């Protein structure tokens, strides 16, 4: 009983060896071509994986940019935060130039606001009284234009702005003492002028960033003390402020930080739309 199945299996194997298998037939010979065709399929993915792994290992270090260590980034963030806290408390952080150079330039810029202005044109054409208050209103307008320009120069420009304002208050106090104003009235006048000055800064900034109507309203409130009835005077001053701010903005910031030299355009001009820029050197083909 046990030997019969073994003999039958041996007979089937002998028949399969004697007669080759047809394409549609079964048996071991029918599976031999399939196995032969499947062997290279098992080898190709391994070769491709090796190629991909070798290429990726070479390209990854080139694609990744150099990153700063986390400690250095934390130190920069802490340094920036400490600088902002110091500036909020009134201290000065690291500056581009030395403080005494910036102070000298700030004093010179304030001197340009005082000595290079034709006050007679402002008093005559704007119908302003010849008083210390009128002088202060004209000066604070030009000081504000200098502050607008120097705020664009970063931390050094802000430090220079503070010294310009400090020089202005020192000058106002000295002039009031020369005119014989006593200490009590001088203190009250200085307090009132301080409030007027910072209110004028906000009004002029809003007018500069807005249209001419807002700027004219700021000039009417601050420079004319709400006593101007001539619209031509307001139009003349709006045109003067626009062209003057545009001219100061064209000056080199590095020169302003080191020298503080500012020139003012006249109150009335024939061609006020033109921008008078600082003359720059021209070179020929020979480099001379």
Question: What is the three-class DSSP state of 267?
Answer: coil
CA distance 225 to 218: 10
Neighbours of 141 (CB within 10 A): 21
CA distance 197 to 39: 91
145 to each of 10, 152, 175, 250, 275, how far by Cα in Å? 112, 12, 22, 13, 16
Please name the residues in contact with 265: beta carbons below 8 A apart, sequence gap of 6 or more: 240, 243, 244, 247, 276
Question: pTM higher than 0.85 for the full model?
Answer: no
CA distance 199 to 187: 19
pLDDT for 91 equals: 58
pLDDT for 18 equals: 55
Please name the residues in contact with 99: beta carbons below 8 A apart, sequence gap of 6 or more: 92, 159
CA distance 97 to 152: 16
* 287 φ/ψ sector (left φ>0, alpha ψ -120 to 50, else beta): left
Neighbours of 222 (CB within 10 A): 22
pLDDT for 137 equals: 95
pLDDT for 97 equals: 74
Q: Report the Cα 133 to chain-centroid distance in Å.
A: 37
Total count of residues recorded for the chain: 288
Please name the residues in contact with 257: beta carbons below 8 A apart, sequence gap of 6 or more: 96, 97, 101, 102, 105, 150, 153, 156, 157, 160
Structure-token pair, residue 147:
């502050």
| Angle subtended at Cα 227 by Cα 222 and Cα 232, rounded to the nearest 5 degrees | 90
Say if residues 249 and 149 touch (Cβ distance below 8 Å).
yes
Mean pLDDT of successive 10-residue stretches along the chain, which has 288 residues: 51 55 46 46 47 45 52 46 64 71 93 93 92 94 96 89 95 93 91 94 94 94 91 93 93 90 88 55 41
Structure-token pair, residue 62:
């080139």
pLDDT for 98 equals: 82
CA distance 95 to 159: 9
Say if residues 251 and 149 touch (Cβ distance below 8 Å).
yes
Neighbours of 245 (CB within 10 A): 15
């Amino acid at each position: 009983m046990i030997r019969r199945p073994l003999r039958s299996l041996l007979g089937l194997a002998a028949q399969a060896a004697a007669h080759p298998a047809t394409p549609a037939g079964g048996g071991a010979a029918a599976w031999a071509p399939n196995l032969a065709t499947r062997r290279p399929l098992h080898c190709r993915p391994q070769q491709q994986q090796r190629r991909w792994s070798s290429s990726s290992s070479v390209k990854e270090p080139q694609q990744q940019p150099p990153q700063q260590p986390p400690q250095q980034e934390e130190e920069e963030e802490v340094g920036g935060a400490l600088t902002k806290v110091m500036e909020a408390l009134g201290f000065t952080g690291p500056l581009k130039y030395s403080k005494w150079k910036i102070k000298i330039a700030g004093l010179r810029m304030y001197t340009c606001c005082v000595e290079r202005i034709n006050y007679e044109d402002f008093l005559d054409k704007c119908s302003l009284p010849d008083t210390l208050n009128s002088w202060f209103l004209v000066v604070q307008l030009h000081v504000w234009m200098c502050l607008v320009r120097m705020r664009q120069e970063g931390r050094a420009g802000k430090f220079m702005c503070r010294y310009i304002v400090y020089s202005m208050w020192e000058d106002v106090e000295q002039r009031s003492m020369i005119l014989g104003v006593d200490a009590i009235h001088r203190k009250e006048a200085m307090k009132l002028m301080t409030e007027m000055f910072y209110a004028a800064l906000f009004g002029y900034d809003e007018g500069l960033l807005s249209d001419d109507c807002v700027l004219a309203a700021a000039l009417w409130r601050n420079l004319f003390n709400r006593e101007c009835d001539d619209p031509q005077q307001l139009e003349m001053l709006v045109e003067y402020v626009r062209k003057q701010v545009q001219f100061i903005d064209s000056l080199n910031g590095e020169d302003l930080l080191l020298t503080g030299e500012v020139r003012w355009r006249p109150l009335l001009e024939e061609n006020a739309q033109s921008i008078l820029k600082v003359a720059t050197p021209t070179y020929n083909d020979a480099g001379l």
